[in-house]
Amino acid sequence: MWSCLDEAQLESTNQKEKMIRRLISFAALIFLLLAVNAIGGLASSEKMAWSTYAVATSKGLGTGVIVNCRDSNARGGGSPVLVTCAHVLQSAPRGPYFLVVRSPVAGSNPDIAILRIDIPRDCEHPFIKHPRYDVAAMRIDLPPEIARLIKLSSFLDERTIGRQGAAHVGDEIFILGFPKIFPGTTGGFPVFRSGRIASYSPGSQLDRVRFLVHSDIYSGDSGGPVFAEHNWGGPKLLGLITERVGGKNRQVPLAIAVDVSAVRETLAQLHASESPHQIQSSGRLPAAAANA
């Protein structure tokens, strides 16, 4: 049976529909704010920790950062790029390379997996090296079946990388790495250390791209980020650790870092370069290995 609504009933119905739409909009806004707050809840130092990875070859261990770079051939227009010291990758010129990858787990340490990066036989240049400084970059393309399981998380991109001159003598800085004496934590995170920029270039006075830092640096820290901490926004990358002072048998609390401008120049070279490399996953690490 059909019936008609009088004006009062119609007005009441319209008011209910408006209220429902407002509640839905409010709920969507709350959901969005919670999502943004969850991301923004990390301190800049924690964001840098999530952006830093252990890099291994058959010859040893190093450190690197993932930078989200533009890539017209990738879904979403971007792909992760590994940035580390050139000597870390040159220790095994044809690979394979290994990255320790973390996957968040609510209320617990992250799950850990190892990515194996194999270099195709027809790839003549597996990575791009800066012509003057100890910096290298390698684009990584995760196959869809692996990308569904893990992600190379990073809070660094080409826009957030600082400009030359951002670092000054005496400035407090922080360093992340995977030192051989204590190569990380159960969650696969790097080890923090604090320090200061100790001096300008240890070489020529004309070379302002390299600088000295005062901090405890060990084997395995090569490629580790030097950064400044902010109370807002993302971390400010200042450079990369390239070598320690004093050699293997002498622990001098000084190290040489290269300015972030060399990283930007290396990434610029990369954009006109190589094909992505094939990735394999060895799955989750055994508990004993994860705790190493």
Read off the pLDDT of residues 7-47 as tens digits, 9 standing for 90 and up. 555 455 556 555 545 544 444 333 333 333 444 477 888 88
pTM of the predicted protein model: 0.76
Q: What angle do CA 48, 41, 178 make, to 5 degrees?
A: 25
CATH domain 44-290 topology: Thrombin, subunit H (2.40.10)
pLDDT at 205: 56
- The reply to whether omega before 144 is within 30° of 0 (cis) is no
pLDDT of residue 184: 65
Q: What is the pLDDT of residue 258?
A: 93
DSSP state of 110: E
The pLDDT score that the predictor gives to residue 177 is 95
Q: Which residues of the chain have pLDDT under 70?
A: 1-40, 72, 74, 76, 162-166, 183-184, 201-207, 230-235, 247-250, 274-292
**pLDDT at residue 66 in the model:** 95
Do residues 216 and 208 make contact, with C-beta atoms less than 8 angstroms apart?
no
Number of H helices, E strands in the chain: 6, 14
Q: Are 216 and 253 in contact (CB under 8 A)?
A: yes
Q: Report the pLDDT value the prediction gives residue 50, as an integer from 0 to 100.
A: 92
On whether the CB atoms of residues 249 and 79 are closer than 8 A, the answer is no
Summarize pLDDT for 88-119 with one digit per residue, the tens: 999 988 889 999 998 888 878 888 889 998 88
Closest Cα partner for 140 from 214, 66, 192?
Answer: 66
Give pLDDT, residue 175: 95
Domain residue ranges of the chain, discontinuous segments joined by +: 44-290
* Residue 8: per-residue pLDDT: 54
